[in-house]
Structure 1
Amino acid sequence: MQVALQDITLAYDYHHAILDHFSATIPDGELVALLGASGSGKTTILNLLAGLLTPRSGRVIFNQTDVTAQDSRQRNIGMVFQDYALYPHLTVRDNIAFPLKMAHVKRAERYQRVADLAKLVQVTDQLYEFPHKLSGGQQQRVAIARALAKQPDLLLLDEPLASLDTALREELRSVIRHIQQQTGVTALLVTHDQEDAL
């Protein structure tokens, strides 16, 4: 899915504009990195794309369709957060399956999709573990699999490597790129780290 932000202006109450006539296009099926310092508006852009924020002016376009007024439930978005945001009381299997369960996907189909995603992100041997038993890199792999569960049109990654040590960061960079290439999902990764972006 091609994504475009057209002439976006957004400001929080009583503050100067975070984004002022900002425009960008993410080509269909590409992984794009958005690099910037903390507080520069990177996460704001993700939240605009996810439908969690509405711009003061400008348009959000998905495949030539204006989705600016649609909320997050109407957009087919997968989102991965810096802190993983896994449910601590659910196993890896049930964390990945959660969006499918909420979408009322039948159990057999749900768990087949989980098995496929677990293989893709290389956590098959952790399916029955709880998040607290996993390393940071494993938790992030699970978070990516969960974000991909509903086959999103757009995958948003908010500083997904920021809380990992150097070795894990390098490993996860390759994993994210491999997953994006295998699935063909349009993806936007935001980071303040130049090496991650490159």
Structure 2
Amino acid sequence: TPSGGWIPAAIAGNTGVGLSQRMQSFVLDEALNPYNLLEPGKRPRVTLTPSMALKEGKPFLSFAVQGGDTQDQDLLQLFLNIVEFDMTVQEASEAANIHTYQMQSSFGAHESKPGSITLNTAVPSWIRKDLGNRGYKMNFLERTSGPLNAIWFDWKHKSFWGGSSNHGEDYGIAW
């Protein structure tokens, strides 16, 4: 997932591990989150989530997206669109999605906005009405995900299927 600049701001001692500016998203205040600390046995949350799903021990789907705190939401929706709703990898990459803001933001003041959601403008009116009846505060955007990219492994036909959303400058190349 091309995100965060990738040029290490510092190297951790003589380990060779680069520490990038993504550490800005760590929430290290124990009062805000006792699990998100920089100490043994803890793992600060970072928004980088390139993913690989396996099926029967073999790669099934490789997928990633840029987008900060919405990355996990975007990737889960892409995965469910393929597995549960029988979309192709391209259809799933282009499908309308929803973002919630229940969790603390990784950036800035680390605020949380329970009950606030962002919907893609393509979400049907009956879903909007239902969410409104449930008390959600909605806003709408034409582009609600970062650039989703995925590869579906078709073992039956010994081929790969690629998909990319039109929400960025990402694309797939095959030969």
TM-score by length of 2: 0.27
Flag the structure with more relative contact order, 1 or 2, with Cα contacts below 8 A and sequence separation at least 6: 1
More helix, by proportion: 1
TM-score by length of 1: 0.25
